[in-house]
Amino acid sequence: MSIRSDNSPRSDRPEEDAIIEVRDASVEFDMDRGRSRVMNDVSLNIQREEILGVVGESGCGKSMFASAMLDAIVEPGLLTGQVIYRPENGEAVDLVDLPDDELDELRWEEISMCFQGAMNSFNPTMKIGAHFAETARAHNRDVDERMEHARDLLKELYLDPERILDSYAHELSGGMTQRALIALSLLLEPEVLVMDEPTAALDLLMQRSIISLLSKIKEEHDLTVIFITHDLPLVTGFVDRLAVMYAFEIVEVGPSSQVVKEASHPYTRALLRSVPSLDAPLEEMHPIEGESPDPVNIPTGCSYHTRCPIADERCEIEEPELIETNADQEAACFYWEQAQDEVTYTLHSGIMGDDE
């Protein structure tokens, strides 16, 4: 289904550079105690061949954002709005309105997802190789050709293809299983790879190794990567842009190093102030006080006002829109300039990545 969007983009670069345009996307679940909104009118352009990092506290809506990229919200959840995919060759399609058979074809072939907890993503009764072959058959691809491609991918990820393909998931280490899942997600050569906390269960050394490998894979395969994480220091030197989520909304977005060095939203600044560091004095580490909003009872006005030290009556009543605070950087805050003085933070080693 081809579409045209008359909505002007709320953020950064032009539509024609975007591979995915998210427009007023929301996800709701009907619950016994009320309607739970776990993604709230999110709009964002994802640029072709960029690495976008989506960060925020647990429960802020990051995983729902990831699932919305494939219209893979589990029932009885309902996705509304638009998720427009613009292939390099072909017409744009709105995933929200796409028939199920076309959506099934697009998943893995055009937009693929690498879930958190690789061990849970593999059937324990099937060898890893069987998962690759099954994926190829499900999309009517030549199995022998795709298995050869699988071997090449596994080699790129510094794995022994024959050992991996002939093993069950429980016979591999966590890092090996995660890399095998990354290879599986790339089997059909998608344009976009969505990664939902792919390193959450791994130790720090393996996390850094996976990030390094992803940078290499992204360049070699011309991928667009959407990387979901709660671990801000892990991705700041890896991603091109950061989108910060709070209470099911994007509250700040911009170039990664710029957002980290010159955060505009009080929540982003508080998040940076709470990052633990081995070389930071204990008194400089400040957890964010209070709790995230209940998705059944999101407060009126700015969703962060109940925890924000500079909020006033306007914040309680009026909902701020994303506005430009620096070049290519936006934040949803009325008092972002005041936040720079009121919510201070210090950058410690490791937060900017290895190159900073």
Domain range holding 328?
254-342
Model pLDDT, residue 350: 59
Both 230 and 270 in one domain: the answer is no
* End position of a domain, from candidates 173, 207, 239: 239
Query: For residue 233, what are the CA distances in angstroms to 64, 207, 230, 253?
Result: 22, 11, 9, 16
Strands 18-31 and 34-47: antiparallel
pLDDT at 290 over 90: no
- Span of 4-13, 49-58, 194-203 with lowest mean pLDDT: 4-13
**Residue 350 forms part of a structural domain:** no
**Residue 245 forms part of a structural domain:** no
pLDDT at 353 over 60: no
Give the pLDDT band (50/70/90) at residue 355: very low
Strands 192-196 and 224-229: parallel
User: What are 32-76's pLDDT values in tens digits?
Assistant: 888 899 999 999 999 999 999 999 988 899 999 999 999 999 888
**Residue 48 forms part of a structural domain:** yes
User: What are 228-281's pLDDT values in tens digits?
Assistant: 998 888 888 899 999 999 999 999 999 999 999 999 999 999 999 887 765 666
* Number of folded domains that form the chain: 2
- What is the share, in percent, of the chain residues with pLDDT greater than 90? 66
Model pLDDT, residue 17: 86
Q: In the chain, where does DSSP find H-type helix? A: 62-68, 100-109, 118-121, 128-138, 143-156, 161-165, 174-185, 204-221, 232-235, 256-261, 266-273, 313-317, 336-342
Give the pLDDT band (50/70/90) at residue 82: very high
Dist CA 53 CA 227 (whole Å): 5
Both 97 and 218 in one domain: the answer is yes
pLDDT at 295 over 70: yes
Dist CA 177 CA 327 (whole Å): 40
Model pLDDT, residue 32: 80
Both 121 and 174 in one domain: the answer is yes
**Residue 249 forms part of a structural domain:** no
User: What are 162-182's pLDDT values in tens digits?
Assistant: 999 999 999 999 889 999 999
Model pLDDT, residue 169: 95
Nearest to 258 by CA among 323, 328, 211: 328
Write the DSSP assignment of 98-115 as a string of letters. Answer: --HHHHHHHHHHTEEEE-
User: What are 111-165's pLDDT values in tens digits?
Assistant: 999 987 777 889 999 999 999 999 999 999 999 999 999 999 999 999 999 999 9
Both 152 and 290 in one domain: the answer is no
